[in-house]
Amino acid sequence: MTNLEVFLEELVTANRILANERIVDSFGHVSMRHPDRPDRFLLNRVRAPELVEPADIMEFALDGNTIDDRGRQAPLEKFIHSAIYEARPDVNSVVHTHSLSVIPFSVTKKNSLRPLLHTCGCIGHAVPVWDCNDRFGDTSLLVDSTERGRDLANLLGSRPAALMRGHGSVAVGRDLRLAVYIAYYLEVAAKLQMQAMAMGEVIYLTPGEIDQALARIGPFATDRTWENWCRRAGRKILEREQKVGPLRD
């Protein structure tokens, strides 16, 4: 098996994990930057994440154009991924989900989503909300153009995650396993924060605690969770060469 084939299998595994952990359902998608071509990325055709196979994975340029669709339908929201890769050379994976607990934080103004659990420090200091209506007026809320993708990427900035008003969220990482890790704990953070707010005043992680949590995220955490999630999803762990850079917030 070539190194690229191993990466394709790992991208399939990411889809299966996100589905099995109920971070995505029939919708949502995860991509990775091409391991040999940083000016391209890999993303599956339109298909439910739980059903994705290696043959479903397509190659795209950073403008969102398909390299060779071979009759396969590309996701309308490929521009979420293309714009973030274009803006963030440090990002090698992007996850877009509609996980249910994050949605209330995208449509209410009283409380922003903030980490209160140490493993949720990976989501950053506070998760901003991108509102498509601010610049583009009434739309389907889909990020189906380069302009909308770049506007979302601009709001994301150097952060690890952002919410999308009435739509979902995006999480990014220096590698695939980290992006899946952040997407998972974004949902955990939202669920716990709603539970804590119902009980009373919430004590969140301090800025310094979040900085330390971000600085300490590495393979010791992402490989540990990946192994566990792979077992639960019935997927094998394959050895691969990964190129990573620093995580920023």
Average pLDDT, integer, range 156-169 = 98
Q: Which of 15, 41, 40 is nearest to 29 (CA)?
A: 15
pLDDT single digits (tens) 30-89: 999 999 999 999 999 999 999 999 999 999 999 999 998 999 999 999 999 999 999 999
Per-residue pLDDT, averaged over 147-166, amounts to 98
- Assigned CATH topology for domain 3-233: L-fuculose-1-phosphate Aldolase (3.40.225)
Task: State the pLDDT at residue 1.
Answer: 74
Which is catalytic among the residues 9, 21, 77, 187?
A: 77
> What are the extents of the domains in the chain?
3-233
pLDDT single digits (tens) 114-146: 999 999 999 999 999 999 999 999 999 999 999
**C-alpha distances in angstroms, 36 versus 92, 205, 217?**
12, 38, 25
227 is catalytic: no
The answer to whether residues 106 and 190 touch, using CB atoms and an 8 Å cutoff, is no
Average pLDDT, the chain: 94
**How far is residue 236's CA from residue 239's CA, in Å, rounded to a whole number?**
10
pLDDT in tens, 233-249: 999 988 755 444 434 44
